[in-house]
Chains A and B, each alone.
Chain A
Amino acid sequence: MTAATARRVLWQIRHDPRTIAMLLVVPCLLLVLLRYVFDGRPEVFQSIGAPMCGLFPFIVMFLVTSITMLRERTTGTLERLMTLPLAKLDLLGGYAIAFGLLAAAQAVVVCLVGFGLLGLDAPHGAALVGLLAIANALLGMALGLLVSAFARTEFQAVQFMPALILPQLLLCGLFLARDAMAPLLEGLSWLLPLTYAYDALARATDPAALDSALALDVLVVAAAGFAALALGALTLRRRTA
C-alpha cells in the first residue's frame, strides 16, 4: 500500500506537466541568474551557488508537499483514506517515496547544470551534493506535511514558506557566516534544521577534507526529518471533531 500511495502521488503529478517542467527548469534558471549576478566574482558564486544546488529540493518539496497534503485534508480524500485499511505509515511512506523520487530528478538536473554547465566545483563529487539534496528534500517534505495541519487554505499554506523557510535560509550561513552574526541569532541558528543541511552542503562543496562533522550534520537533518514526520503523523487523525 506504500507503493500504491507513492504511485498515486506520482500519477497526480504526471497529470500536471507544467508543474514538472517548473520543478526542473526554475532552479536551473535561478542558478544561471546567480551565475551572472556574481559575474566578476566566481568565488562568491561558488560559495552560494554550490550549496544552493542542494537546497532547492528542500524548498520546493516543502511547498509541494504542504499543498498536496492540504488538498488531501480539505477535499475529504484524507477522511476517506482514514476509513480504509491504510496505515498512516503507508500514507507517509508513499509520500516520502514519491517526493524523494521527484527530488532526485530535480537534484540530478540542477547538479548537471550547476557542476556541469556553469562550472561550479564539487571537490568531493557532484553525486554527494545530489544525495544531500535528496536528504534535504525529505526534510522539506516532512516539514511541509506537518505545517499542512496548521493551514486551512492554500493561501495560508504558501505563507508558511516565507514564515518558516526564509528565516532558516537567512540564518543558515548561506548569505553570512554564522559566527559573524549577533550572538542571539547565531544561537538561534543552532536550533534550526536547515543550518545543518547547509553546513553539510558547504562541507561537501569545500576542498577541505571531509570529516565526521558532515556525518553529524546528516544525522541531525535525518533526526529533524523523522521528528517532523512523527509529529505530522500525529496530525493525521482517524477521528475528527
Chain B
Amino acid sequence: MRGGNEVLRSVSLGVSHGSVTGLLGPSGCGKTTLMRAIVGVQIVAGGTVTVLGMPAGASALRRRVGYMTQAPSVYGDLTVLENLRYFAAIVGAGPERLAEVLYTVGLTGHERRLTRSLSGGERARVSLASAMLAGPELLVLDEPTVGLDPVLRAELWSTFHALAADGATLLISSHVMDEAAECDALLLMRDGTLLERTTPQQLRDRTGELELGRAFLAVIEEVARSAPG
C-alpha cells in the first residue's frame, strides 16, 4: 500500500548475489514501492520482505544496503564534498573511500561545486555516490540513469558490472527497455504484479523478439490472453 492505494499484488521474488537485476516496467507500475519495501522504508500491509537473511529495514542492514531514490536525495545547499562527507561520517567511510566513490561516478574535480548548481545528471551521481559510500552488499537504485547522456549511461553500467563482479548485488529499476540488455536477470512488472523473472537472452528466445522492448510487449499480450478480463 502506498499513499492509500494498493500498489503491489502478489509479488514474490528473489535476487541472486553478485548480479545485476533489472526491475523493468512502465511508470507507475510499482517499481519504486517495491524498492522502498526492500530497503525497509515502506509500510508493508501484508507479506514478508527478507533482505540478506533479515527482515527488510532491520537496523543491522542499514550499513549493508544502499538505496538511491529516484529524485536525488542530497542537500542542494551543500557542495558535493560536504554532502559526501556527511554521509561518509554516518556510515563510517574514510576519506580514501570518499575519493574512490567520487572517481567512480565521475565527479572528481567537481567537489567544491554547490550541489544545486549541478546538472540533473550530476546531481543524480552525487546521490548515487552517497549510496555507494558504505560499500553495501546490496545496492537498490531507483532509475539511476534517468536523464543522463549516453556516454555517461554506458560508463555507469560498466561501474555497476564492476561492483557486481566484486560481489555486490544490484537491483536497478528503469522504464527504458534498452537498458534491460545490460542486466544479468530481469524482473518485468506491470500494474503492481510481477509478470516474469527472466534473463535478456531467455526473453528474446521465448518471445522470438530481438528487441527487448517488443519482447516485453509480447509478454504483456501473453498475460492478457491467459487471464481475460
Contact = CB atoms under 8 A, between A and B. Distances in A.
Given A15-B78, A16-B77, A241-B3, A83 B41 contact: yes
Interface of B: 1-4, 39-43, 57, 59, 62-63, 65, 67, 69, 71-79, 82, 86-87, 89-91, 114, 130
A83 B75 contact: no
Contacts of B79: 15
Given A84-B91, A85-B63, A85-B90, A241 B4 contact: yes
14 contacts: A4-B90, A12-B77, A15-B114, A16-B77, A77-B73, A80-B67, A80-B73, A80-B87, A83-B40, A85-B91, A238-B57, A239-B43, A241-B1, A241-B43
A1 interface: yes
A8 B86 CA distance: 6
A240 B87 contact: no
Interface size class of chain A, counting residues whose CB lies under 8 Å from the partner chain: 20 to 34
Nearest to B60: A85
Nearest to B74: A77
Contact of A1 (B63, B65, B90): B90
Given A241-B1, A241-B43, A79 B73 contact: yes
Contacts of B76: 75
A109 interface: no
A79 B41 contact: yes
B73 to A, nearest CB: 3
Contact of B41 (A16, A75, A77, A239): A239
A86 interface: yes
Given A1-B90, A81-B90, A83-B65, A75 B40 contact: no
A11 interface: yes
Contacts of B75: 8, 12, 75, 77
A231 interface: no
Contacts of A11: 78, 82, 86
Contacts of A81: 90
Given A11-B78, A79-B41, A239 B73 contact: no
Given A76-B69, A83-B41, 4 more contacts: A8-B78, A76-B73, A82-B41, A241-B43
Given A8-B82, A75-B71, A239-B42, A84 B77 contact: no
Contact of A239 (B57, B114, B130): B57
Interface in A2-36: 4-5, 7-8, 11-12, 15-16
A80 B57 contact: no
A79 B65 CA distance: 14
Contacts of B2: 241
Nearest to A16: B77
A11 B90 CA distance: 16
B138 to A, nearest CB: 11
Contacts of A238: 40-41, 57
B222 to A, nearest CB: 33
A42 to B, nearest CB: 43
Contact of B43 (A5, A16, A77, A240): A240
Nearest to A79: B41
Contacts of B130: 80
Contacts of B73: 75-77, 79-80
A85 B64 CA distance: 10
Given A12-B78, A15-B77, A238-B57, A1 B41 contact: no
A83 B67 contact: yes
Nearest to B65: A83
